[in-house]
Every structure is written in C-alpha cells, then in structure tokens.
Structure 1
Amino acid sequence: MPEPRPDIRPEPRLQIKNLSRFYEGRAVVNDVSLTVQPGQVTCLLGPSGCGKSTTLRLIAGVDHQDQGEVYVDGQLICDGASTVPPEARSIGLMFQDFALFPHLNVAQNVGFGVSGSKADKRQRVLALLKRMGLMHHAKDYPHQLSGGEQQRVALARSLAPRPKIMLMDEPFSGLDNRLRDGIRDETLEVLKEEGAAVLLVTHEPEEAMRMADEIALMRDGQIIQQGAPYNVYNAPADKQAAAFFSDINVITGTVHGALTDTAFGQFLAPGVPDGTKVDIVIRPQHIKIDFDRHGRGPNPTPQDGTPARGVVERARFMGNESLVEFRMDFDGSVMKATIPSVFLPKAGTALWLMIRRDRCFVFNHSKTRPA
C-alpha cells in the first residue's frame, strides 16, 4: 500500500523576504519577512510610526527597498536591483482617504483601471456595483455620497481589475464608529469572495482581531510576533505585546528556586536564574474579586493563589462591563479589574483580589513602558 503523500502547501500569493528600508541611516523597516496565501487576510498591526505603511509602499512599488525581495505567485517582482513597475504588479491599493476622482461618477471611478473590451468593462463594473449595493449611485459623484458609500466605491474600484493582492492602509479609520463594524464585515466578505491575498495595515487591535486570519505584530520596524489572532493574544511575545491588545496589570518580583514570591502567592518561573527580576502580567478581565469578611478574604487555592486586599478608588460602567480600580494594601499600587455587567462598589470599599495562574504571563523585567 503506497504511503500517503505529505500535504503540499500552496505557493504564497505574496511573499516578502528580509525587506529593509533606511531613512537617514535609521531602519524604518528592518528585515521584515512574511507570506500571505490566496484568500487570506493578514493584518500588519502596530503603533503609529512602526513601519507598517512603509512596508505596504515597498510591496506596491511606490517606494524602493534598500534590501530584500518581494514575490508574487513565486515570481520575483523586486529585489533592490530590478523592479517591476507598480502598474504591472497586479496589486490593488486602498487607503484611508479613498482618493476617489471627484470629476468622475461612481461607475466611472469603479471602471477606471479595468482593461478589456467595453462590454467586459461594463459587465465587471455593474457586477461590483450590484455586489456593493451601489447600483442606485452609479451616476452620482463622490461628494454626493456618505463616508460609508465612498468606502464601498473605493473598495469596488480597487477590486475591479481583479488584483492578485490587496493592500489596505487604515481603510476604515475615517468612518463613524456606528458604521465601522458593518462596513468591515461587508468588506471582508467581498475580499474573501474575490480570493485576493489581503495585507491590511491597522493600529487597532480590535480591527485586527475581527478581520485577520493572521496577525503580524510590528514594532520599531520589525515583526516581533506573527500568528493566528488567538495565539498572538493568548501567548504574547513580551509585556509590550500583551499591553498592545488590552490594559494590563504588572507585578514585579524576584526569582528564587524557579519561584517568584508576591503578595498574591508564588508564581512559577521555570528556567529563570535565581535573582532575576520578572514581570508578572495579568489582564483586568482575569482578576477575581471577593468580599471582605471583617479583614479576612477567601482561602488560598492552587488555581487562584493567595488573595490580596485592595481599596476601591473608583468604579465606572463601560456599557457591557464595569471597570474597577483598586489601591493595593501591600505596596500602594493601582490594579484594574473588569467585571461583566454592572458592578459599581463605592470608593473606599475594601475587597480581595485573586489572580488566575492559568491566565498570567511571566516575562523578564523590563523598564520599558508598555506601548
């Protein structure tokens, strides 16, 4: 009986290798590598100024790398020495300002980059207008449209030439919050149907989690972590990575015998040398709260460790959860906890906090402020 053939991974639609770009001796993009498959949405996520948009411009060919290579379907399109011009790369671009032509109506904007016969062009434009719910705006001009309608026109125009790759730079940042979720979901559905490889730049973790098949977390010109949203969120590379996705609480301790003593009990730090300072990171939603019983809290447990007492400084209702801030007895630090639904204890109320061991991250101590 023949042995089963190993799975053959398809050729990446987009592949960049060791891409770097320097300005005045500073690496704005520093040795960046990633791949995107057909139909896959990858989010390049990071704070403003970390090199995300420059990476997109290098891939599109509107800027030129100092080092590295870009491939489309396995074909080299630029390596610093030779380059395929932007219009020949089969790459669509969509930016936050939409950049619609004000003197062209909606149908003309969508059909601007479409080649082929007049009949083929008309058929493609009509199909996209229908898909995007824009048929009744075909003869309108951009200034007559809402922000959400302009966004859909920009997407249709980018998709009309059937690009192999879609590059999107903060495409939803100009939209009203009430419209944004619906427009994002609609855009994602259309992109999946078209089968393009999508590289989306954003500085909003929620947007990346909502849209991405894979997240590439970028900082100071480098990709510091890459993977499925669940993995990037639940196994952050460092304290800064954890803090980028949500508020965090940080407790600093020193390792002795692979254990760190804190007011919340001991934490495991396997493989960390004695005397090393570490940061124990916990998100507010993973802190448990219990009531004060005449100066005593609940008994310690293996899962939640030792309780520590704090006094409420303030509590706020955030819509679907409550955020409570505590001043801790043991060192005067402030810790935050989020509680589902409504929980608004008065300032000055003493409560006991516990930390779930399975939701903690232990990193070598860093003085760097979480970004």
Structure 2
Amino acid sequence: MTTPRLEIRNLLRRFEGRAVVDDVSLSIQPGHVTCLLGPSGCGKSTTLRMIAGVDMQDAGEIHVDGQLICDTVFRVPPERRQIGLMFQDFALFPHLSVGENVAFGLKGAKSEKRARAVELLDRVGLGHFIDEYPHQLSGGEQQRVALARALAPRPKIMLMDEPFSGLDNRLRDGIRDETLALLKEEGASVLLVTHEPEEAMRMADEIALMRDGHIVQRGAPYNIYNAPADKAAVAFFSDINVLRGTVRGALTETPFGVFLAPGVPDGEEVDIVFRPQHVGIDFDRGGRGPNPTEMAGTPARGVVERARFMGSESLVEFRMDFDGGVLKATVPNVFLPRPGTPMWLTVRRDRCFVFPASD
C-alpha cells in the first residue's frame, strides 16, 4: 500500500477550553487533491494552520511521507516541512516585483532563482509581467502569481485556504481549472479548504466533510453527494425537502406512498430527505393525477405558490394539500406555471434518503 504523502492522526486543538478541532484524522496520497469542506467556524483553517506549523496542536501527530514532523514534543520548523501555502489574500510583497515575489525564499544563485520564476510565470501565462509590481495586476493575475510563488520551492504538499474566494464568479472557474492543472503537473499533494460545495466537487479527488471540529464523512465527490452520512450532509450540498413519518414494520407511510426504513424500531420517527431536482411534476386532470408507479410512488397534489427562472433551471414552490407545507421542485430550462395552478408531484424512490428524525 502506498505511503500517504500527508497523514494527520487524532489532531486536537482547544481555544479557551473549547475543542475547535476534535480528534481529526486524514491522509492524502501523492498527487491527490483533498478538499476539507465545511461551514465557517468548523475548524478547517485551524487544521490547515497546524499542518503548516503556524499553530500547535494540543494532541495528535502529523506525518509527511511516513516521517513524523510534529507532535506535542517534536516539531519540524515550518520552513523545513516542504509544505507550500496559499491564502485568500494572496499576501504578495508590494515592494517586490512579480519575479522577485515568485523567487522569494528560494535558495541558490540569483540566475537560478530567476529561471525558476520565469518557468512558473510562463506556465501561468504571466511571463511578460515578471518585472511589474503586484498593484499593477488584476486580482486573478495576483492569484496566479501567489500560486507560482507557493510552487517555486517544489513543495511536496500544497495547503490552500479559500484561495479563490476573492475572485468574481466568472473568473473563478477558469482560475480554478488552471490552478488544478498546474498542481497536477507539479505533482503536489493538495489540501484545499473551502466552504463551497461546488468548488470541492470541481477540484477534489476526495472530500472530507467537516462539522463542529469533526470530520463527519470522507469519500469521492460522487459518493459524498449520493450517499450522504446524514440530513445535514445532504443539505450542505443542495436545497432539500423533508417528509417526517413514523415507522411501522420497517415501513413509513407518507402522502407519497410507502418508504422503506430497514432497521428502525417501530414507533420511531424518520426524516425522508430528497432534493428538488428529484421531484416529478405532472398536470392536474380534473382533480386527478398520474397513476402510482413502483419507482415514483403515489402522486400528491399541490398548488403553485411561486415559480422563478434561475438561468439553467426553474425553481417552483408548491403549497401541498396534505399538510399546507411548501415543497420545492427544480425543472431544467424554462417552466413557469402560474401561481394557484394545481399540479401533482411524485418523488423518486431511488433518490430519497431516510435518516432518524432530527431538528
């Protein structure tokens, strides 16, 4: 089995007696991109700071290529860890030229350092800016300079803390793709911190979903999205609809038909969670809807409350007859039924998640 490029074991960090990172373990293989994904304040950046060596853990170990670099007694200084850092503010030196920024911290002859700066700046399309200064560059260009500077010492590991958050949306996708391509070319293992699920899905080989100081789920983006650990994990990636039901004989009766709830004791409540894109919509036919099917179950009637075109899809909100609650559905392209229109909704059985009931 391949030795992980980076491995952290049971990291713990407390502030004022509160554990902000609590027993976090994670490994990254050589050349892989792992995203530490979670809401603000969940401990992502603190984990990154401990790996970089700018903050000390209260317990746990950090290993690079199987070698211990830090525990609570032994500590390799940050500058000797072969770890590169990129932060959201870029942190370029305003008094140094672009080339000098990229070469900063490199060892060797001046000509060798400039040659490395030229190589990397050419690869990010900024070779002609080598003698300019950071204030003369746009935000996207400064981000690419910061990337080149972080890669210049050929780090084994690249730590990136929300590096694209300061860029506008249209620029961001292109910069992310360019960054990912260059990181792959350099062979660096990457740990990227982000609170944006779309960014994690776009960039990661593996996602580690973090909440309240813990990693609650790890896996490939497809698996995290399609086999979430709990209701909160589903909701982190998209809007959700929730039906609550009571289990009887491993089954739960709902207005959309019966759902399986294997292993749940009788009398327990469960949440049946599904995304708006997995809601089917059909027209009302004189007070009747489509026939029930094994895949879609029983249709339930609702009345359109609001419909909005979102660009690539339409979002329709229904006030449901059975409980007066609102249920959301998304439809590709343009679909804007008038408010007050009765329609029938179905829910795909293979796209529903059943979890113990929670607030």
Residues 122-271 of structure 1 mapped to structure 2, 5 A cutoff: 122-271=114-263
Q: Which amino acid aligns with 1:239?
A: K
- How much does 1:323 deviate? 0.2
Cα distance in 2, alignment partners of residues 355 and 199 from structure 1: 37
Residue 104, structure 1, aligned to residue 96, structure 2? yes
Cα distance in 2, alignment partners of residues 178 and 340 from structure 1: 21
Cα distance in 1, alignment partners of residues 237 and 108 from structure 2: 45
TM-score, structure 2 normalization:
0.99
Cα distance in 1, alignment partners of residues 20 and 320 from structure 2: 41
Cα distance in 1, alignment partners of residues 173 and 66 from structure 2: 34
3-state SS of 2:253 partner:
strand
Residue 359, structure 1, aligned to residue 354, structure 2? no
Among 297, 303, 306, the alignment partner of 1:305 is 297
The corresponding residue for 1:285 is 277
3-state SS of 1:33 partner:
strand
The corresponding residue for 1:4 is none
Q: Which amino acid aligns with 1:45?
A: L
Among 60, 85, 94, the alignment partner of 1:93 is 85
Cα distance in 2, alignment partners of residues 270 and 74 from structure 1: 42
The corresponding residue for 2:50 is 58
The corresponding residue for 2:72 is 80
The corresponding residue for 1:326 is 318
3-state SS of 1:199 partner:
strand
Cα distance in 2, alignment partners of residues 171 and 154 from structure 1: 9
3-state SS of 1:324 partner:
strand
Cα distance in 1, alignment partners of residues 12 and 278 from structure 2: 39
Q: Which amino acid aligns with 2:259?
A: F
Cα distance in 2, alignment partners of residues 73 and 116 from structure 1: 25
Residue 68, structure 1, aligned to residue 68, structure 2? no
Aligned length: 359
Runs of 5+ unmatched residues, structure 1 = 1-8
The corresponding residue for 1:3 is none
Cα distance in 1, alignment partners of residues 336 and 258 from structure 2: 30
Query: Please, what is the CA RMSD of the aligned residues?
Result: 0.6
Runs of 5+ unmatched residues, structure 2 = none
Stretches of 4+ aligned residues off by more than 3 angstroms = none
- How much does 1:240 deviate? 0.2
Cα distance in 2, alignment partners of residues 136 and 127 from structure 1: 12
- How much does 1:123 deviate? 1.8
3-state SS of 1:244 partner:
helix
3-state SS of 2:69 partner:
strand
3-state SS of 1:124 partner:
helix
Cα distance in 2, alignment partners of residues 115 and 12 from structure 1: 27
Cα distance in 2, alignment partners of residues 317 and 311 from structure 1: 18
- How much does 1:122 deviate? 2.0
The corresponding residue for 2:331 is 339
